[in-house]
Amino acid sequence: MTVGSKPRRHAATTRAALAGCCLTAALSTAAGDAPAVPGIDPWRLGMSRQEVIEQTDYGPYAEVRSTGGLETFAGRFDGESTHVSFVFADDRLIQIQVWAYQGDDVEKALASFAAACRYLARDYGTIYRRGEPIDVPLDAASLRRLIPETMLAAGERDGIEKLREAGEVALTPQEFRLYVAGPPGTEIYASFIRVLQLDLSYVFVILRQRGS
């Protein structure tokens, strides 16, 4: 993950790196009692590109250069207006990515991560870490204890200025995931990401076809 001296380039490369981070291979778990076709209303995996765009109450949709997919800033997740992006293969929706949080407040990010886990638990049941059910309440304080302390350390508030001055510098996002057992052939998880060099946190909910 790299960042250049221009703010626009920084935003583009950060988005591309985060997209790549969330497109990596994920843990395989057995399917439980879950919706037959996973999705975030009104979208479902397997939709065509046109079917996604036809959900006009949640548009407008824009092209995403880094993935060749689409995005909208008028999606709904857990009752809130939310940025949602979509990845396609062979004109079928293979990944839905909900941008549940992005900002520089770690406590808000943790609260958002806990809310994302509760949302997934309501639809899919047990939350897993490394293939084992977690036995803690799905609140920010309890989930915080599962996340490595190094991820929660204070970041550099002026990090972006330092990176711009230095030119091309590698960023090192750190990610922590919790999973649910979706239908066969799918991966569904909540992702907590920290970029300490920029003191930024991200929370994503990912629903995807396995192998995509």
Which pLDDT belongs to residue 78? 83
pLDDT at 199: 85
pLDDT digits (tens, 9 = 90+) for 143-171: 999 999 989 887 665 555 665 566 656 77
pLDDT tens string 82-95: 999 999 999 999 99
Q: How far is 165 from 16, CA to CA, in rounded Å?
A: 21
Q: To which H or E segment does residue 144 belong?
A: helix 140-144
CA torsion angle 192 35 77 60 (round to 10): 110
Q: What is the pLDDT of residue 134?
A: 92
- Helix (H) / strand (E) containing 162: helix 159-166
Give the Cα-Cα-Cα angle 26, 170, 18 (nearest 5 degrees).
35
pLDDT digits (tens, 9 = 90+) for 14-25: 454 455 455 443
Q: What is the mean pLDDT of residues 32-53?
A: 84
Task: Say if pTM beats, i.e. exceeds, 0.75.
Answer: yes
Note down the domain range covering 46.
2-209
Give the chain's domain count.
1
